[in-house]
């Protein structure tokens, strides 16, 4: 059996139960008592049972009516909550936004931006999806992310990019290494040095390999890992030094590594990517605007990274 009832039907029945009578319920709903009585009879006809026992003094729910009221109250609460959420969504105060980002950006850049957004829109849900460059760009293409943060200089056709920040590479090494005695490390100092590298699937490896090739430097034995924590642990174990972007360093803190500035300076651009053909929701636009205004708001970044000025 399919029972066809509207939200209005549910509200009428609940109003009668709450008011304890038809006259009071009609006043509460600002409708004529005759209209309310017809609506209750219509509900009873459609469900096939009496919902109220009527006496000269009061109206009270039947056993079946009490069960119907339990369901009606739950449905109305869910309905009202959903509409309230939608009103907030339209106003931009509620809703959800998903941002995809490289692991180094998800852990060091995104938190301060989301915290800033949350202060203005405390009820917006933010999902952060981290992955390698191709993975985060694919999320924008297939629509599972509203935007992405990456360092890729090229993006799939149709996507738009905006340079929002810059960070520079630094040298990290275990305490007691010979680099501890220097204020700055040259890329040429890596010649023959055991080296801990990110694997070839990462954007960091591409920067490091290109710079080593440009400077004509060949490092010593290489140990590779994909995960930031693994690279930190391997470096701390004395398996070599590493060159990493400044935004990676905070996530290596557990390993107790030391760091030095590097010459010549090598920087990477951090880019915000979105699909201009796919309209952003108001919460997504708010997150995008927070990212674009990060320099003006002076949001915190690790040493060695800086927000790009907004043009």
Looking at domain 94-162+269-307, what is its CATH homologous superfamily?
Periplasmic binding protein-like II (3.40.190.10)
The model's pLDDT over 17-38, given as tens digits with 9 standing for 90+, comes to: 998 888 898 998 999 999 999 9
pLDDT exceeds cutoff 80 at 88: no
pLDDT exceeds cutoff 60 at 87: yes
Would you state the pLDDT for residue 100? 96
The arithmetic mean of pLDDT across residues 71-95, rounded, is 78
Same fold: 94-162+269-307 with 165-267:
yes
Over the range 241-265, which residues count as b (16 or more CB within 10 Å of their CB) and which as e?
bbbbbbbbbbbbeebebebbbbeee
Q: Where are the domains of the chain?
A: 7-91, 94-162+269-307, 165-267
Distance, in Å, from the CA atom of 84 to the CA atom of 89, rounded to the nearest integer, reads 9
The arithmetic mean of pLDDT across residues 273-287, rounded, is 90
The model's pLDDT over 190-241, given as tens digits with 9 standing for 90+, comes to: 999 999 999 998 989 999 999 999 999 999 999 999 999 999 999 999 999 9
pLDDT exceeds cutoff 70 at 112: yes
The domain 7-91 is placed in CATH, from the list 1.10.540.10, 3.30.1370.100, 1.10.10.10, 3.40.980.10, at 1.10.10.10
Looking at domain 165-267, what is its CATH homologous superfamily?
Periplasmic binding protein-like II (3.40.190.10)
pLDDT exceeds cutoff 70 at 92: no
pTM (predicted TM-score): 0.71
């Amino acid at each position: 059996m399919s029972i066809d009832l509207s939200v209005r039907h549910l509200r009428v029945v609940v109003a009668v139960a709450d008011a304890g009578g038809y006259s009071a319920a009609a006043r509460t709903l600002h409708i004529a008592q005759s209209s309310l009585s017809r609506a209750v009879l219509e509900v009873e006809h459609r469900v096939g049972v009496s919902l109220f026992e009527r006496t000269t003094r009061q109206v009270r729910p039947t056993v079946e009516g009490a069960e119907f009221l339990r369901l009606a109250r739950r449905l109305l609460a869910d309905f009202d909550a959903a509409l309230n959420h939608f009103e907030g969504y339209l106003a931009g105060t509620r809703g959800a936004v998903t941002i995809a980002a490289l692991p180094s950006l998800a852990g060091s850049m995104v938190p301060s931006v989301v915290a800033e957004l949350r202060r203005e829109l405390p009820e917006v849900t933010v999902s952060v999806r981290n992955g390698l460059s191709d993975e985060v760009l694919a999320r924008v293409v297939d629509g599972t992310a509203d935007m992405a943060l990456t360092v890729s200089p090229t993006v799939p056709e149709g996507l738009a990019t905006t340079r929002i920040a810059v960070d520079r590479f630094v040298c990290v090494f275990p305490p007691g290494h010979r680099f501890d005695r220097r204020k700055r490390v040259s890329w040429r100092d890596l010649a023959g040095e055991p080296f801990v590298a990110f694997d070839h699937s990462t954007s960091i490896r591409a920067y490091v390999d290109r710079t080593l090739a440009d400077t004509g430097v060949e490092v010593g034995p290489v140990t590779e890992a994909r995960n930031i924590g693994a690279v930190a642990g391997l470096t701390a174990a004395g398996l070599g030094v590493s060159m990493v972007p400044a935004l990676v360093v905070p996530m290596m803190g557990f390993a107790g590594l030391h760091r030095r500035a590097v010459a010549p300076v090598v920087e990477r651009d951090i880019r915000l990517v979105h699909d201009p053909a796919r309209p952003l929701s108001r919460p997504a636009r708010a997150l995008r605007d927070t990212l674009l205004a990060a320099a003006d708001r002076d949001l915190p970044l690790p040493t060695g990274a800086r927000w790009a000025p907004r043009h």
